Amino acid sequence: MGHDAPPRWDRRMQQRLAHGEAAALGELYDRFASLVHSLAHRVLDDEDAADRLTREVFTYIWEHPDSYDPKQGPLRSWIAGVTRHQAVQRLRQTEAASARDCGDGAPAPAEIEQKIRDASTAARADYIVTSMPAPLRAALELAYFQRRDYRQTAADLGVTEDEARRRLRLGLQLLSTAHHHQALPPGHRASYTSRAPRSSPAAPHAPRGPLTPHTQHTGPGTSAPPGPGHGRSR
C-alpha cells in the first residue's frame, strides 16, 4: 500500500470518525502512529514527549474529525501538518520554560527561534522524503545521502545516467520546499486548533484489544491511541 491513501479512503475515514466509529480510530492509528511519532520526535528530540504528543494528536483527531477537509489534500498530509504544528508549539513552550529557569544564562530569543525553525524544517524534510515517489526517493538516498555519483546511482537503479540525474533533480526540488514552510510564530494558533469538539448523546465502544502500529518505526514508548471516550462525548 502506498504512503498516501486513496482520496476515497480519506473521505470514508473522515466520515467514520465523524460518526464516532471507534474502529476507525484504531485503523487510523495503525496506519499513521509511526508517522506522527517520528515527526514529533524529530522536532522535540525526546522519546517521552513524542509519546505524549502522539496521544494528543490522535485525541485531537478523534475530538475534531470535521477539521479535516478531504478537498484540501490527503489525510496523511493533514495529520503530518497537525503533528508538526503541535510539536513546534510544544517545543516553543519547553524552550521558553527552560530559558526562564536559566535566567541570565538563557539563550537569546533569536537563538531559540532559530532552533525551533531548524527542528520544524528537519521534520518537514523527513516527511517530504518519505512521501515522495519511490524512484525519486531511491535516487536521493543513493546520490545525496550515500554520496554516490550519477554513474553509480544509475547502475544501482538500473536506469540511464540522464534518468538518474532527472530523478535526483526532482527529489532535491521537492526537498528544498521544506525551507519554505516556517515554524509557527510565537503566540500563533493554527486554524485547526480553534474548532470546538463535536458532541452527540451516545459514546462509542472502545476498540477491542491493544492497537499496535503496523508501520515501519514506532518509538518504544508509543502507546495505543486514547480511548474514543476520552474528551469527546457522543
- Taking a C-beta distance cutoff of 8 angstroms, is the pair 233, 52 a contact? no
pLDDT reported for residue 131:
76
pLDDT reported for residue 183:
43
Q: Give, for all 234 residues of the chain, the pLDDT tens digit.
A: 444 445 789 999 999 999 999 999 999 999 999 999 999 999 999 999 999 999 999 999 999 999 998 888 889 989 999 999 999 999 988 888 887 777 767 777 777 778 888 888 888 888 888 778 888 888 888 887 788 888 899 999 999 999 988 988 888 887 777 665 544 433 333 333 334 444 432 333 333 333 333 333 344 445 566 665 555 655
pLDDT reported for residue 98:
81
CA atoms within 13 A on the CB side of 217: 12
Q: Cα–Cα distance between 165 and 145 in angstroms, integer?
A: 15
Torsion of CA 194, 225, 183, 92, to 10 degrees: 90
Secondary structure (3-state) at 173: helix
Find cell 522536532 and name the residue. 43
pLDDT reported for residue 212:
30
Q: Long-range pairs for 11-17 at CB < 8 Å and ≥24 separation?
A: 11/70, 13/75, 14/65, 14/66, 14/68, 14/70, 14/75, 17/61, 17/62, 17/65
